[in-house]
Amino acid sequence: MIPTLPFIYIIIGVAIDDWLRNIKKRIDNTEIFTHVLVTYPIIISFIFAAAFFSIYLRPDVRITASNWIEKNFPENSTILVESGNVIDIPLKGNFKIISLFFYNLETDTQTRSEIASGLEEADYFLIQSRRVFVNHQRLPDLYPKTARFYNALFDGKLGFEQIKELHSYPMLQIGNWKLEIPDEKAEETWSVFDHPVIRVFKKSKQLSKQEYEKFFEI
């Protein structure tokens, strides 16, 4: 889509120019109105650009999450993670990692069996981004098994409790004043691969593989 942007900007500029010409015919003090119209988006764009740039002044959230996991998880813990993101975390530490592709949960029996086994074995479950659960929870009629699974996870019915959320939102801070812009629902290249929100779940109740498989039944 990027090669189309220059043409889109030209079209927007022509449209605004045409709009201003029509306004000039109807109101006085058109020059003041034009200055306000031009200045406002420039200021807003500058503020958001500065907030977005702050992401790259901080450590990558995947490194932050890996450091937190290494510090807080017992050695030899078993961690179930959703694969298909930029990279699986944690990036270091003495842990057993079970990486499964949850996108196939809806259609593949083998994947559901592997996920049930992984949940039974895992001490922790990492949701590495909103890539899977948001896209499936919002369309339960199309993805009933996947939507039900994540609803059960967030409701605590899978025997896992969320203990940590790590993110790196666009932010502006001046002294004690801070403006943070939650952008997890933005386009996936931005919110999944660039600076995802990472959720950490800890097992609070042990269920059997058969009990986990029941959550996939519709």
pLDDT digits (tens, 9 = 90+) for 80-103: 999 888 889 999 999 999 999 998
Residue with the two structure tokens 């959703």:
82
HSE-up (13 A, CA, CB side) for residue 4? 2
Q: Do both 33 and 68 map to the same domain? A: no
Q: Cα–Cα distance between 77 and 98 in angstroms, integer?
A: 11
**DSSP annotation string for 128-157:** --STTHHHHHT-TTT-HHHHHHHHHHHTTT
Q: Is the pLDDT of residue 76 over 80?
A: yes
Q: Do both 125 and 206 map to the same domain? A: yes
Q: Residue 180's domain spans which residues?
A: 60-214
Q: Do both 92 and 120 map to the same domain? A: yes
Q: Do both 87 and 153 map to the same domain? A: yes
Q: Do both 35 and 70 map to the same domain? A: no
Q: Do both 34 and 121 map to the same domain? A: no
Q: Do both 70 and 37 map to the same domain? A: no
User: 93: left (phi > 0), else alpha (psi -120 to 50), else beta?
Assistant: left
At 148-194, the pLDDT tens digits run: 999 999 999 999 999 999 999 999 988 889 999 999 988 888 888 99
Q: Do both 51 and 84 map to the same domain? A: no
Q: Cα–Cα distance between 104 and 123 in angstroms, integer?
A: 23
Q: Is the pLDDT of residue 25 over 80?
A: no
Of 14, 35, 56, which residue constitutes the final position of a domain?
A: 56
Q: Do both 123 and 96 map to the same domain? A: yes
Q: Do both 162 and 91 map to the same domain? A: yes
Q: Do both 91 and 165 map to the same domain? A: yes
| Tally of structural domains, the chain | 2
Count CB-CB contacts under 10 A for residue 196: 25
Q: Say if residue 134 is exposed, middle or buried (CB neighbours under 10 Å; 0-12, 13-18, 19+).
A: middle
Q: Do both 92 and 34 map to the same domain? A: no
Q: Cβ neighbours of residue 20 under 8 Å, at least 6 residues apart?
A: 30, 34, 37
